[in-house]
């Protein structure tokens, strides 16, 4: 999969809008299918990327960033898939504690991501958020 020991990189940039999340899922399905993942693992990656992009879309709506976009970058080796999801959806402000009583879509989405991939990292990025997910093949 690698060329000269470097991971192969596939990138997709989509508008940060609901109707395009499916495009990102399809692309990641294509990427993950080329690795030694089981059917369930490919589905896990597809769902996790879908959830991360959905979170970006929701924040873009909240922050009224109508021209926001999402860069979905997949780096693949024979054994490791790294997906970087970088949006320009604006800042993600923490909810005040009293609003966190019941599980809601956002926390369900975050829960799903942590259960579906092996590593997750979320960090603020210039004008948005950078999520990194890693899934190891053959596990």
Partner 1 sequence: MNFSIDTYNLDSGVPVIKLGGEVDVYTAPQLKQKMLGLLEAGAGQMVVDLAQVEYFDSTALGVLIGGLKRIRERDGNLALICPSPRIRRVFEITGLDKVFDIYSSADEAKTGMEASP
Q: Which is nearer to partner 1, 8 or 108 (CB)?
A: 108
- Is 54 a binding residue for partner 1 by CB under 8 A? The answer is yes
Q: Tell me whether residue 57 or residue 76 sits nearer to partner 1 (CB atom).
A: 57
The candidate with the shortest Cα–Cα distance to 83, out of 29, 135, 128, is 135
Q: Which listed residue (16, 21, 28, 60) binds partner 1 by CB under 8 A? A: 21
- The nearest distance, CB 89 to partner 1, in angstroms, is 13
| Among residues 7, 12, 43, 127, the one that binds partner 1 under rule CB under 8 A | 43
Among 28, 51, 81, 129, binds partner 1 (CB under 8 A): 51
**In which residue are the tokens 């019941």 written?**
102
Contacts (CB under 8 A) with partner 1, residues 73-132:
103-106, 108-109, 111-112, 115-116
Would you state the structure tokens that stand for residue 99, as one six-digit string? 């609003």
Structure tokens at 133: 């997910």
Nearer to partner 1, 57 or 83 (CB): 57
Which residues sit at the interface with partner 1, rule CB under 8 A? 18-19, 21-22, 25, 40, 43, 46-47, 50-51, 54, 57-58, 103-106, 108-109, 111-112, 115-116
């Amino acid at each position: 999969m690698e060329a000269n020991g470097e991971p192969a990189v596939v990138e997709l940039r989509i508008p940060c809008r609901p109707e395009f999340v499916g495009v990102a899922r399809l692309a990641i399905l294509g990427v993950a299918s080329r690795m030694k993942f089981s059917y369930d693992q490919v589905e896990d990656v597809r769902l996790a990327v879908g959830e991360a992009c959905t979170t970006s879309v929701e924040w873009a709506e909240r922050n009224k960033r109508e021209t926001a976009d999402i860069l979905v970058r997949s780096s693949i080796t024979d054994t490791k898939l790294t997906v970087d999801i970088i949006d320009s959806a604006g800042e993600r402000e923490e909810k005040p504690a009293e609003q966190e009583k019941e599980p809601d879509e956002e926390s369900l989405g975050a829960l799903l991501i942590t259960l579906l991939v092996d590593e997750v990292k979320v960090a603020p990025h210039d004008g948005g958020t950078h999520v990194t997910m890693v899934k190891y093949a053959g596990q």
